[in-house]
């Protein structure tokens, strides 16, 4: 039986039958066309994915018209605002969704159909996975992830470099033994001992994405020009188009 879960409530427990789901296959790419003098054609610079539109055609069964009216009031309180959206055919994947509108019931005394229009995140998220830094692993998903790099310093360092491929981020400042760090690649924040310390970022540092597939998140400490691997982990939720 087809069902969906929104804000932690499953449609079947609300007396709702999911008849049809229609949505865009994936979010359109938002980008910019840049004209360069002397170059034939424009250069396309992709920037981000747009949200996707989704419509759910649903129905409610009842014994009489009064039950339909009661169901309508309950649905008005449930199908409102934003929350995580889950479907029966991919119960381990969640997608952030915002309810745009819900139509009124159409049908007969014991059968009421309605439609839910939603605006959804371009990515469906899997369960959180932890991977060790400085180890080559297979990162799950079909889209690059933006998770958190977490580590504590076993000794004092002059610099810390986190990197993936050609992308890197460098921290410099008071990097003392025992300090606990969280580099939030999605939120664009560096936390040190529970305090935001983006002032430690050096010029040119960028919060990067980790591509899906085989790869490695590198985490290195530098002291007196010597680099040593640091113990740490990359925590992420796989992203799927």
Residue 62: which of 14, 104, 103, 102 has the closest Cα?
A: 14
Residue 75 backbone dihedrals phi, psi, to 5 degrees: -70, -35
Any idea where the domains of the chain sit in the sequence? Answer: 4-122, 129-240
Please, which pLDDT band fits residue 63 given cuts at 50, 70 and 90?
low
Kindly state the average pLDDT of the residues 173-197.
95
Among 36-40, 43-47, 63-67, 109-113, the least confident range: 43-47
Sign of the torsion angle spanned by Cα atoms 6, 10, 16, 19: positive
pLDDT higher than threshold 90 for residue 201: yes
The predicted pLDDT at position 47 comes to: 60
pTM of structure: 0.81
Question: Kindly report the CA angle at 102 between 101 and 106, in degrees rounded to 5?
Answer: 145
Quote the tokens at residue 119. 């605006």
The predicted pLDDT at position 89 comes to: 93
Please, which pLDDT band fits residue 132 given cuts at 50, 70 and 90?
very high
Question: Kindly report the CA angle at 166 between 161 and 171, in degrees rounded to 5?
Answer: 20
Q: What is the helix (H) or strand (E) element at residue 76, kind and residue range?
A: helix 65-78
Distance CA 200, CA 31 (A): 31
Quote the tokens at residue 89. 């055919």
pLDDT higher than threshold 70 for residue 148: yes
In a 13 Å sphere around the CA of 139, the CA atoms on its Cβ side amount to 29
The predicted pLDDT at position 44 comes to: 53
Q: Which CATH architecture has domain 129-240?
A: Sandwich (2.60)
* Percent with pLDDT over 70 in the chain: 88
The β-bridge partners of 118 are 54, 99
Q: In whole numbers, what is the pLDDT of the chain averaged over residues?
A: 89
Among 22-31, 116-125, 165-174, the least confident range: 22-31
Cβ proximity of 143 and 26 under 8 Å: no
Instruction: Give the domain 4-122 fold.
Output: Elongation Factor Tu (Ef-tu); domain 3 (2.40.30)
Cβ proximity of 120 and 110 under 8 Å: no
């Amino acid at each position: 039986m087809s069902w969906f879960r929104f804000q932690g409530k499953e449609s079947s427990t609300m007396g709702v039958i999911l008849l049809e789901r229609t949505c865009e296959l994936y979010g359109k790419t938002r980008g910019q066309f840049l004209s360069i003098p002397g170059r034939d054609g424009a250069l396309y610079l992709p920037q981000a994915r747009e949200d996707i539109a989704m419509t759910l055609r649903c129905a409610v069964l009842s014994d009489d018209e009064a039950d339909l009216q009661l169901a309508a009031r309950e649905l008005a309180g449930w199908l409102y605002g934003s929350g995580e959206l889950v479907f029966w055919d991919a119960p381990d994947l969640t997608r952030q969704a915002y309810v745009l509108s819900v139509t009124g019931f159409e049908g007969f005394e014991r059968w009421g159909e309605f439609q839910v229009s939603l605006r959804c995140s371009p990515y469906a998220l899997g369960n959180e996975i932890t991977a060790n830094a400085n180890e080559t692993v297979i990162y799950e998903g079909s889209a690059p992830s933006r998770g958190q790099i977490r580590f504590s310093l076993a000794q004092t360092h002059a610099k810390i470099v986190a990197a993936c491929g050609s992308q890197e981020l460098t921290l410099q400042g008071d990097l003392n033994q025992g300090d606990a760090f969280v580099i939030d690649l999605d939120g664009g924040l560096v936390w040190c001992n529970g305090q935001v310390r983006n002032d430690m970022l050096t010029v040119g540092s960028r919060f990067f994405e980790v591509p899906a597939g085989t790869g490695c998140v590198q985490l290195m400490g530098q002291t007196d020009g010597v680099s040593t691997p640091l113990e740490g982990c990359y925590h992420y939720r796989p992203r799927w188009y």
